[in-house]
Homo-oligomer: A and B are copies of this chain.
């Protein structure tokens, strides 16, 4: 499928600075695909030949650790996906999988490269984004390794609430097993902590729907053990 990128309502803020010819190039050289929950968008181990732009939906970035899968983070549209894995290595070093229905644009690396070269501002924006991601990775890793389960679970819930759904009530798009991979624990521990939070009146669970009742407590747990 082909479409006019300049008029695309899902454009990234970075793309606002693109020149006319770049838009034409983009329009002519991309593919829009729809994904359902669970569908693989980028697969670790495959050749990486496309930059991916997530127009709508949610996706998880995850990779095979030495013993089990690790979910690096959950991202929401609009965002580029797979820049590191496309430019950093010929072979994808991580996977991206839809966790809700999603629409994705595939852009040829060469085309993306050209656009980078011809648009300073865009290129700068991308550099800044990459830098920010790396900083975030550092913090994430430090938290994950140093905090214990309750703290990390609190972080995850707060992130869903504040960064992804912008609401204190939301439906977790992950199973407890996936949450475990995100928080670096076992499935059982996720279950235990979740019911514990519920009993303590910090959250309220109705199936996959979660309401954060006492955000203050949750933040305290995130900070301390």
Contacts and interface: CB of A to CB of B under 8 A. Distances in A.
Interface string A130-151: 1111110111111111110001
Nearest to A140: B141
Given A63-B138, A138-B137, A130 B132 contact: no
Contacts of A223: 66
Interface in A14-36: none
Interface string A62-73: 011111101010
Given A126-B127, A141-B137, A141-B141, A146 B70 contact: yes
Interface in A65-120: 65-68, 70, 72, 83-89, 93-94, 113, 116-117, 120
A123 interface: yes
A66 B132 CA distance: 19
A124 B130 CA distance: 13
A130 B137 contact: no
25 contacts: A63-B138, A65-B142, A65-B146, A66-B143, A66-B151, A66-B223, A67-B146, A70-B142, A70-B146, A72-B138, A72-B141, A83-B131, A84-B131, A84-B132, A87-B127, A88-B131, A89-B132, A89-B135, A93-B135, A93-B138, A113-B124, A127-B130, A130-B130, A134-B137, A140-B141
Interface of A: 63-68, 70, 72, 83-89, 93-94, 113, 116-117, 120, 123-124, 126-128, 130-135, 137-147, 151, 184, 223
